[in-house]
Amino acid sequence: MKAAGVKTGEPIWEALVKCSGGIYVKRDFRWYEVLSRLMRDLVHETSTRVEYYSIDEFFFQAEGRGERSFQDLAEMMRDRIWDRMGIPVTVGIARTRTLAKLISDAAKPHGALAVMGKEAEDAYRADKPVTEITGIAGRRAARLAPWGIASCLDLARADRRLVRKLLTASGETLWWELNGEPVQAIHSKRPAHKALSRGGSFGESTAEPVVLYAWLVRNLERLIEELRFHQVAAGRLTVVVRYKSGLTGAGVAAPAVPSDRFDVLLETARPCLRRAWMRGEPATHMHLIAENLASRGQCAPGLFDPPAQRVQAEAVARVKERINDRHGRFSLRSAATLYLPAIYRDVANAYDICDVRGKICF
């Protein structure tokens, strides 16, 4: 379908015009995770340092051995994944992460390319627009355009101080990387989260307050699962609601002390939803974001939180966890979510891409 010009995220009716024989498959993130982890293990066989960047992207430290060139390594890795898993992948090897990503994009589909050295890199940098670089999108590209910086090569040859002025320190990082200086590390373990969030599209827009509240509770239950997994408590909650009209509503609140308790966080999130809510406007998306994360063991108990209530809430949370571990996710859930029967009936909603843990990128 890619060969026919179908792009990622393109609606089916538009894709149909380009590729009438395409097959449409419903998402299955559990299966994608199995494949993703298998692929990561295969990459590990040839490199000791692998970063689980996203569900289908990995960065690895290319290690040349004996007679084997980097080009041989790239081809071997691509062929090994194809032979053992039947998945066509593209492998790019270069002096830095940013260059490797550019080169792997140039080698698509199912290519393997190692490009080392400034002159060879220039050929790939010259014809690629700056927006091909991860971290430079429309707004940043517009800031560069008046200075005649349109391609990756333009950016690499631009004055470093100018790039820093236009794109801040993160832009300067990209400038070094484009010039072959590796400044972005390969993280073999995911750094601790600064924020955790759960949410997404409703599928079907809704203006019903009870349905919106049901979504808030669903997203909160998912968020609490994640907080408990990482053993952190939320110091601040943000509820963002996006509407069909293009408008966005948001509400922010903080519990008295950082918490991962359902009752406390629901009481915090409820007024946030009230602030984000626009009467009569059909909403399409909701996001619940936990910030100011504090390590769970280091949170002081609230002054006005009766110890008996705290113990009881913790006991309920544990029972809920155990039942859901044994009988399946969301087997025991808040009755407020009963307004979303179709969502819980569809098993595809039981596991989302954000539930695949350990990757750096969403």
- Applying CB under 8 A, the residues found at the interface with other proteins are 12-13, 16, 20-26, 203-204, 342, 345-348
Judged by beta carbon, residue 23 or residue 335, the one nearer other proteins is 23
Judged by beta carbon, residue 114 or residue 343, the one nearer other proteins is 343
Q: Please state the closest distance from residue 341 (CB atom) to other proteins, in A.
A: 12
Judged by beta carbon, residue 18 or residue 310, the one nearer other proteins is 18
Judged by beta carbon, residue 142 or residue 342, the one nearer other proteins is 342
Which is nearest to 156 in space by CA: 128, 115, 192? 128
Tokens 């946030």 belong to which residue? 272
Which alpha helices (DSSP H) does 60-158 contain, by range?
A: 70-85, 97-106, 118-126, 138-144, 152-157
Beta bridge partners of 253: 237
> Is 222 exposed, middle or buried, given 0-12, 13-18 or 19+ CB atoms closer than 10 A?
buried
Using an 8 Å Cβ cutoff, are 249 and 278 in contact? yes
Judged by beta carbon, residue 26 or residue 65, the one nearer other proteins is 26
> Is 167 exposed, middle or buried, given 0-12, 13-18 or 19+ CB atoms closer than 10 A?
buried
Judged by beta carbon, residue 208 or residue 346, the one nearer other proteins is 346
Using an 8 Å Cβ cutoff, are 186 and 59 in contact? yes
Distance CA 133, CA 131 (A): 5
Which is nearest to 95 in space by CA: 182, 1, 188, 3? 182
Judged by beta carbon, residue 204 or residue 325, the one nearer other proteins is 204
In the structure encoding, which two tokens stand for residue 248, read together?
A: 């966005």
Q: Please state the closest distance from residue 104 (CB atom) to other proteins, in A.
A: 24
Phi-psi region of 181 (alpha: psi -120 to 50; beta: other; left: phi over 0): beta
Q: Please state the closest distance from residue 11 (CB atom) to other proteins, in A.
A: 9
Q: Please state the closest distance from residue 218 (CB atom) to other proteins, in A.
A: 16
Residues sharing a CB contact under 8 Å with residue 274, sequence separation 6 or more, in sequence order:
251
Q: Please state the closest distance from residue 203 (CB atom) to other proteins, in A.
A: 5
Q: Please state the closest distance from residue 24 (CB atom) to other proteins, in A.
A: 5
Judged by beta carbon, residue 25 or residue 300, the one nearer other proteins is 25
Distance CA 201, CA 287 (A): 9
Which is nearest to 359 in space by CA: 37, 96, 62? 37
Query: What is the DSSP code (8-state) at residue 230?
Result: T
Q: Please state the closest distance from residue 348 (CB atom) to other proteins, in A.
A: 8
Q: Please state the closest distance from residue 347 (CB atom) to other proteins, in A.
A: 7
Distance CA 271, CA 260 (A): 17
- Phi then psi for 170, rounded to 5 degrees? -65, -30
Q: Please state the closest distance from residue 16 (CB atom) to other proteins, in A.
A: 5
Judged by beta carbon, residue 56 or residue 204, the one nearer other proteins is 204
Using an 8 Å Cβ cutoff, are 288 and 198 in contact? yes
